[in-house]
Copies of this chain bind each other. A is one copy, B any other.
Amino acid sequence: MRLAELSERSGVPTATIKYYLRERLLPPGERITATTSEYGEEHLRRLRLVRSLIQVGRMPVATAREVLEAAEDESLSQNTRMGAAVWALPHGPEPDEDDPHATRAREQVDTVLRRMDWSYGQELGDASPAYRMLVAAIASLDRLGYPHDTEHLLVHARLAGELAVADLDLVETYDTPPERIEAVVALTVLYEPVLLSLRRLAQTEESGRRFAE
C-alpha cells in the first residue's frame, strides 16, 4: 500500500508517519519511484505499536525507539526479545543504593519471589527493572510507615500471576513470533490503565459495602 492508504488504515496522519520514518520508529517502505514507497502489513502493525507506546504510554520518542530496537534484535531468542522489549519500557523511580529502607525492601522482594517460586525473578534479581521498581515501591511504603507485610504482598503477587496467565493467553492468539513480541509490549502498556481503573472501581464497591451509612 502507499503512504496515503497506510495513513487511512492506521488513522495516523501522513505527516506523523513521515516523522516516525525519519525518527526510525518505522522501517522504510520498499522504494518504488524516487518519491513513492510501498508499505506492508508489518508497517501497519508497527504503527499501532508506536501509537501505543507514544500516545497511550506517553513515552518519549527515544524510549519508544529503544523498546522497538529490543523487540527487533534478531540475534536474540523470541523469549529474550520479549523480555528485552518489556525491560526497555519506563519503570518509574529506581531504589536508592544507600537507603536502609531499600535494603529491607530488597530482602522482602526476595522472600516474595522465593515464596512464589518465580525462578526468572530470583535469578535476574536487581538486573530486572520490574524488580527494582518493586523494591522502590516497597521502600516508599516502609519509609512512609504504611503497612507492607509479606502476606499482603503475596496476595498481590498471586493475583498478578493469574493475570499474567490471562495476558499470555491473549498474546498466544497471535501467530508469529514478531507479532507476539509486539503484542506483549503493546498489551503490557495498554492494559495498565485498564487494571488500575478496575482496581479503583472495585475499591469503591468494597468500601461502599463496608462503610456506607
* A residues with CB within 8 A of B: 11, 48, 51-52, 55-56, 77-79, 82-83, 86, 91-93, 113, 116, 118-121, 124, 128-131, 133-134, 136-138, 140-141, 143-148, 152-153, 155-157, 159-168, 170-173, 180, 183-184, 186-188, 190-208, 210-213
Complex formed: what's the CA distance from A202 to B150 in Å?
17
**Contact between chains at B161 and A131 (CB < 8 Å):** no
Given contacts A11-B143, A144-B51, A194-B156, contact A203 B79 (CB under 8 A): no
Pick the contact of A203 from B156, B164, B202 — CB < 8 Å? B164
Given contacts A163-B199, A195-B195, contact A186 B11 (CB under 8 A): no
Pick the contact of A208 from B120, B156, B193 — CB < 8 Å? B120
**Integer count of this chain's copies in the complex:** 2
Pick the contact of A204 from B128, B193, B198 — CB < 8 Å? B128
Pick the contact of A145 from B48, B134, B164 — CB < 8 Å? B48
Pick the contact of A183 from B118, B121, B146, B195 — CB < 8 Å? B146
